């Protein structure tokens, strides 16, 4: 079975799971966390342009109320490296492109250190709208955006996924383990067989430069994973 078919199956299964979760919605849950199963039913066959248009008009959760614009993704749509962060920040919300602030500058430097330019990878986030006050995305927000992300993964067909930060790593791996226990190993993205490596978010490295060495080890591990996949 091809990897593309497997990812599509994951999308359908996730859509089914999302529907079940919605039917069990607890009393008092925010109604703006609105029925993401409708996204999963229709997103799985969209091409890049149609997918980006769907994201730009999304109102499935409350984040659409405060965004300036959605932040879809940028880079090589056939890249070996798919880099997934947590959520757009204020700068990204204004410019409509992921990782354009200080964290983005550090990410660019990290990529150059491993021999890659920014336009040689594809970069996106778990959620496509800026959470107010730069808070972490809520679980219902990541659920609403997941069909979009799964379709991006399906379209890129990467040889390796690099998850930046705790929220991205835990969401992609469906794990509650702290990032310190998730990084340093090669995981598999669900049942797709795509290697996934978790590492520190560049914003965290700006605050905690002592962890740059361990992030460098993660990048080297990611490079070896891509080389093996090639």
Which H helix or E strand runs over 199?
A: strand 195-199
Q: How many domains does the chain have?
A: 1
Q: How far apart are CA 186 and CA 198, in angstroms?
A: 8
- What was the pLDDT predicted at 164? 98
**206 Cβ contact partners less than 8 Å away, ≥ 6 residues apart:** 102, 103, 106
**143 Cβ contact partners less than 8 Å away, ≥ 6 residues apart:** 18, 21, 33, 36
- What was the pLDDT predicted at 40? 59
**126 Cβ contact partners less than 8 Å away, ≥ 6 residues apart:** 84, 85, 86, 87, 137, 142, 145, 149, 167, 168, 171, 172
- What was the pLDDT predicted at 10? 46
Coil, strand, or helix at residue 162? strand
Range(s) of the domain holding residue 48: 3-229
- What was the pLDDT predicted at 230? 82
- What was the pLDDT predicted at 143? 96
- Beta strands (DSSP E) in 43-94 are 74-75, 81-85
What is the CATH number for 74? 3.40.470.10
DSSP 12: H
| Entry pTM | 0.82
Q: Which residues of the chain have pLDDT under 70?
A: 1-41
């Amino acid at each position: 079975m091809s990897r593309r078919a497997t990812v599509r199956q994951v999308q359908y299964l996730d859509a089914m799971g999302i529907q079940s979760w919605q039917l069990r919605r607890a009393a008092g849950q925010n109604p703006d966390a609105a029925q993401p199963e409708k996204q999963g039913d229709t997103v799985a066959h969209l091409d890049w342009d149609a997918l980006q248009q769907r994201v730009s008009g999304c109102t499935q959760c409350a984040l659409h109320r405060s965004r300036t614009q959605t932040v879809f993704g940028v880079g090589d749509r056939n890249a070996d490296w798919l880099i997934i962060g947590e959520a757009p920040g204020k700068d990204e919300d204004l410019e409509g492109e992921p990782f354009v602030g200080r964290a983005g500058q550090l990410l660019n430097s990290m990529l150059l250190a491993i021999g890659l330019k920014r336009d040689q990878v594809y970069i996106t986030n778990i959620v496509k709208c800026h959470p107010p006050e730069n808070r972490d995305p809520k679980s219902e927000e990541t659920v609403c955006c997941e069909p979009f992300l799964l379709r991006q993964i399906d379209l890129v067909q990467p040889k390796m996924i690099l998850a930046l930060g705790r929220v991205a790593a835990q969401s992609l791996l469906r794990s509650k383990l702290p990032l310190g226990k998730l990084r340093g190993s090669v995981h598999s993205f669900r049942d797709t067989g795509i290697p996934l490596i978790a590492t520190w978010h560049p914003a965290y490295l700006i605050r905690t430069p002592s962890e740059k060495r361990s992030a460098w080890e993660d990048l080297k591990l990611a490079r070896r994973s891509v080389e093996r996949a090639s």
